[in-house]
Copies of this chain bind each other. A is one copy, B any other.
Amino acid sequence: MTIGDLRASLDQDTLGRQLYECVADLYPICRSITGNGVRETLRRVRHLVPLSVHEVPSGTQVFDWTVPLEWNVRDAYVKNSRGERIIDFRHSNLHVLNYSTPVRKRMSLDQLRPHLFTLPDLPDWIPYRTSYYTESWGFCLSHRQLDTLKDGEYEVCIDSSLEPGSLTYGECYLPGDSTDEVLISCHICHPSLANDNLSGVAIAAHLGQFLGRVSLRYSYRLLFIPGTIGSITWLARSEPVVPRIRHGLVLACLGDAGVFTYKKSRRGDAIIDRAVVHVLRQLGDHEVAEFSPYGYDERQFCSPGFNLPVGRLSRTPHGRFPEYHTSADDLDFVSPAKLAASFAACLAILDVIENDRTYMSRNQKCEPQLGKRGIYHAIGGLAHSPVNEMVILWVLNLADGQHSLLDIAERSGLRFDEVRRAVDLLRDHGLLKEAS
């Protein structure tokens, strides 16, 4: 089975349900860049896809960075003077400032206030905040709730630990015919946020599951890593692998209702850039952004010393939807249909990558005589359709060993799929050979 067969057999409804269930299953877990939340997440992803789970000890030097202490939190709350939990980690793990140091104290509201984070402009939502590299503690809550807090004494508790441990990430390697690799990466460090990035995690996990069933030209490497420190750690530990990466995608924010946005690799004209643009153009409205050094782990993959051909596929990009990094990025913000469509777009892109080969027509001088081979007739029922004849003529004309299928699709304005079907037909008739 090939990716093409897989695409043809895909039931979008079923797939959408599976992806959404995966997001919903992972949603309650309190994740961070280290700790048991990541481990539990990877344990569940492992049900879908074979995963090596790596533990990198705190203090390990990775390029200019150091793997931080491991953070875990068991409980966190603020109680009012009547002993009621008015802010409660058990209701939402966003309430605790991610990477908060342990604290257990009584204090006045004024003493507490500098540790409380809200979004005055979005007063109903709890913000998501982190303090990975500066020791601190705090609580996040809705601005509306903050307004209701009365003076008086509060009991503050964060039952967390920040201790030597390890950074955990998952890696799935699916060998293909070639040791050349396609890299798929998603960040797994955000707690209860659905679009950012359980959408990416669910899609990457299912890609791994599906790709495991098909014959692959490239080998695939799927990374489930904490953002920034995770990609830096992986790159530092995987330098021998890096030169094999031919194409790559960072997957993030793929479950919301927005149109697709593709952010190009730093190279700007890599095959992955052209393949994604080609596929998205056929899928309808979309946006293409030039590379910029802000965003997700493409920042590290595209740092100058690596400059990998890795772009990022999203729907609405980070920071451009109000729900971004708030409690409103919840299970209602993502939908089975959009998750399934994102998954299908990924498969369509990989289908291009897998099939983008270069051919030579066996008749370089003048067209071959198609009539005597019954080829016009062979093209489905549309024996006399000029479209199909045009595809065949384009392929024969550009099959000079210099133009890949994607080149042909781009120059002719035809769809990659059409070009590929014509190539298959012509190859079956002995009219094409692969260029060496």
Contact = CB atoms under 8 A, between A and B. Distances in A.
A299 B412 CA distance: 15
Interface string A359-400: 001011111110110000000000000100110011011111
Contacts of A64: 363, 366-369
Nearest to A242: B365
Contacts of A400: 304-305, 307
Interface in A395-427: 396-400, 412
B299 A393 contact: yes
Given A64-B369, A133-B372, A371-B133, A364 B303 contact: yes
14 contacts: A63-B363, A64-B363, A65-B369, A292-B390, A292-B393, A292-B412, A293-B396, A299-B393, A300-B366, A303-B396, A303-B397, A304-B399, A305-B363, A305-B364
Nearest to A133: B371
Nearest to A402: B304
Contacts of A398: 293, 304
Contacts of A236: 365-366
Interface residues of A, number: 44
Nearest to A301: B366
Interface of A: 62-65, 133-134, 228, 231-232, 235-236, 266, 292-294, 299-300, 302-307, 361, 363-369, 371-372, 386, 389-390, 393-394, 396-400, 412
A363 B304 CA distance: 9
A35 B133 CA distance: 74
Contacts of A133: 369, 371-372
Nearest to A364: B305
Nearest to A65: B369
Contact of A365 (B303, B365, B368): B303
Contacts of A299: 367, 393, 397
A303 to B, nearest CB: 5
Given A235-B365, A306-B366, 13 more contacts: A62-B366, A63-B365, A64-B367, A65-B366, A133-B371, A232-B367, A300-B367, A303-B365, A304-B397, A304-B398, A305-B363, A305-B364, A307-B400
A302 B366 contact: no
